Structure 1
Amino acid sequence: MPRKVLVAYGTKNGSTAQIAQIVAEVLSKAGLTAEALPARSVTSVSSYDAVVVGSGLYAGRWHKDARRFVRRHRRSLAPRPIWLFSSGPLDASASERDIPPVPGVRRVMDNLEVTEHVTFGGCLEEGAEGRIARMIVRSGKGGDFRDFTAIEAWAAHIAEELAGPESR
């Protein structure tokens, strides 16, 4: 059973970091050593047995830090179990149905044989950085659409998979 799990994330306003922290907490409660770190701060994945990578979605793309993380570490990631998550829809759609990965994330999945990808609702609230983000909030289309129960269940699912005999 893998013991050490990295949860790396790319975020602009911090809501994806909160998702990553919850994932790491659930994995830790399941007996794994897990830490959530900003993707830009990770220099090596060699000390980790499994990796979760997540990012907020911005105009249909992952945050640049998450994209760069996957590119920079692709060779080291390849032999490890990998899960991906995206955070983004500013509505209830992620709670109502499975949302497929955006094209860039689909390419990562194909190149790295990712175990699973899930999209969670996003969060964009007052004080968000960026002109477009502020416009969205001012127009009344912002809000917090993260489903923390679903996030915790997904993290528990990862812990179960890592405990099982099929983990790489």
Structure 2
Amino acid sequence: MPANVLVAYGSTNGSTAQIAEAVAEVMSKAGLTAEALPAASVEDVTRYDAVVVGGGLYAGRWHKDARRFVRRNRRALAARPLWFFSSGPLDPSASERFIPPVPGVRRSMTRLDARGHVTFGGCLLEGAKGRIARMIVRNGKGGDYRDFPAIEMWAAGVAGEVIEGRGQD
């Protein structure tokens, strides 16, 4: 029976949600049962064999829904394979070099023994929600810096780890 994988995400304008959906799609193609869900809507993680949590970055912090999800489910998350991703830089830096997790994510990784973290470029386009987001776009600092081939490669690596771990059970 394929492993069930949850890809929970916190997203305001949909960019992180699209990354989560791409991650779940790659995992499904690898033979896992994977679903991407808004972190705020997930009530029970115990039916999943592995979890990926993603959050958009806002002023150096993970999206509030991702933070709350991790806090609310910390015991269940600590008992299963766990990975994190962040999305946010509005420049090509995430494709050019390793960007470490922000301090709050790093602390959660340590506490929950997460197996990995990656930061992907963000996306902020015309029509974005929030006063600051609209100001960033208006000042010409927005754009789409997501690298979907890199996202898919990372997701395939995570899927491989989940599959390999299932064979050891």
Aligned-partner Cα distance in 2 for 1:62–1:133 = 15
- Mapped contact 1:86–1:120 kept (Cα < 8 A): yes
Aligned-partner Cα distance in 1 for 2:131–2:165 = 48
Confirm or deny that 1:81 pairs with 2:81: yes
Aligned-partner Cα distance in 1 for 2:138–2:89 = 17
Aligned-partner Cα distance in 2 for 1:99–1:22 = 20
- Mapped contact 1:2–1:162 kept (Cα < 8 A): no
Residue type of the partner of 2:75?
R
SS, match of residue 73 in structure 2: helix
Displacement after TM superposition at 1:164 (Å): 1.5
For residue 104 of structure 1, what is the aligned residue in structure 2? 104
Displacement after TM superposition at 1:134 (Å): 0.4
Aligned-partner Cα distance in 2 for 1:56–1:67 = 10
Normalising by structure 1, we get a TM-score of 0.97
Aligned-partner Cα distance in 1 for 2:68–2:103 = 16
In structure 1, stretches of 5+ residues that fail to align are none
- Mapped contact 1:95–1:121 kept (Cα < 8 A): yes
Displacement after TM superposition at 1:162 (Å): 1.1
Normalising by structure 2, we get a TM-score of 0.96
Aligned-partner Cα distance in 2 for 1:74–1:65 = 14
Aligned-partner Cα distance in 2 for 1:149–1:134 = 28
Alignment identity in percent? Answer: 74
**Structure 1 consecutive aligned stretches of length 4 or more whose deviation exceeds 4 Å:** 165-168
Number of residue equivalences = 168
Residue type of the partner of 1:90?
L
For residue 143 of structure 1, what is the aligned residue in structure 2? 143
Aligned-partner Cα distance in 2 for 1:15–1:163 = 27
Confirm or deny that 1:94 pairs with 2:125: no
For residue 61 of structure 1, what is the aligned residue in structure 2? 61
C-alpha root-mean-square deviation of aligned residues, in Å?
1.3
Aligned-partner Cα distance in 2 for 1:159–1:133 = 33
In structure 2, stretches of 5+ residues that fail to align are none
Aligned-partner Cα distance in 1 for 2:2–2:110 = 23
Residue type of the partner of 1:91?
D
Displacement after TM superposition at 1:2 (Å): 6.2
* CA distance 1:49–1:165, change in 2 (3 Å): closer
